[in-house]
Copies of this chain bind each other. A is one copy, B any other.
Amino acid sequence: MGNKEPRTRLKGSITMAELARKCGYSKATVSRALADDPRVKPETKALIWDMAERYNYRPHQVASNLAKRRTKTIGLLFPSAPRTIADPFFLEYLHGVSETLFEQGFSLLIPQVKQQRVTETIEQLIAHRRVDGVILTEPRLEDERIHLLQESNVPFVFLGSTVNEDVSWVDGDNRGGICQGVCALGALGHGRIAVITGEEGLVSAKKRFLGYQDGLAALGLELNRDLVWPGDFTRQGGYAAVASRLNQIRSGEVTAILACNDLMAIGAIQALNEARVRIPEQISVMGFDGIEVGKYLSPPLTTVQQPVYSLGREVARVLLGLIAEEHGTVHVTLPVSIVNESNTIGPAAPHGAA
A interface residue numbers (CB < 8 A to B): 9-11, 13, 56, 58-63, 65-66, 71, 73, 84-86, 88, 90-92, 94-95, 98-99, 101-103, 107-114, 123, 126-130, 151-153, 235, 266, 269-270, 273-274, 292-293, 295-299
Contacts and interface: CB of A to CB of B under 8 A. Distances in A.
A71 B66 contact: no
B107 A103 contact: no
B88 A293 contact: yes
B108 A152 contact: no
Q: Which of A63, A86, A101, A126 has the largest number of chain B CB atoms within 10 A?
A: A86
Contact of A298 (B88, B127, B270): B270
A123 B273 contact: no
A334 to B, nearest CB: 18
A266 to B, nearest CB: 5
Nearest to A263: B296
A11 B153 contact: yes
A122 to B, nearest CB: 10
A83 to B, nearest CB: 12
Contacts of A9: 151
Contacts of A126: 10
B95 A10 contact: no
A127 B13 CA distance: 7
B85 A95 contact: yes
A233 to B, nearest CB: 14
Per CB-CB distance, the 4 closest pairs between chain A and chain B, nearest first, are A273-B298, A91-B91, A98-B110, A107-B109
Contacts of A61: 71, 128-130
A203 to B, nearest CB: 24
A274 B59 CA distance: 56
A87 to B, nearest CB: 8
Contacts of A274: 298
A129 to B, nearest CB: 6
Q: Which of A13, A66, A126 has the largest number of chain B CB atoms within 10 A?
A: A66
Given A85-B95, A102-B110, A269 B298 contact: yes
Given A62-B65, A126-B10, A297-B297, A92 B98 contact: no
Given A91-B90, A235-B296, A10 B62 contact: no
11 contacts: A11-B152, A11-B153, A58-B128, A60-B128, A61-B71, A62-B129, A85-B98, A90-B91, A99-B114, A103-B112, A107-B130
Nearest to A267: B296
Contacts of A235: 295-296
Nearest to A300: B270
Contact of A91 (B85, B111, B297): B85
Q: Which of A90, A92, A102 has the largest number of chain B CB atoms within 10 A?
A: A102
A75 to B, nearest CB: 9
Contacts of A62: 62, 65-66, 71, 129
A103 B85 CA distance: 16
A54 to B, nearest CB: 15
A312 to B, nearest CB: 11
Given A85-B95, A98-B110, 14 more contacts: A10-B151, A58-B127, A58-B128, A58-B129, A85-B91, A99-B112, A99-B114, A102-B112, A103-B112, A107-B109, A108-B110, A235-B295, A273-B298, A293-B293
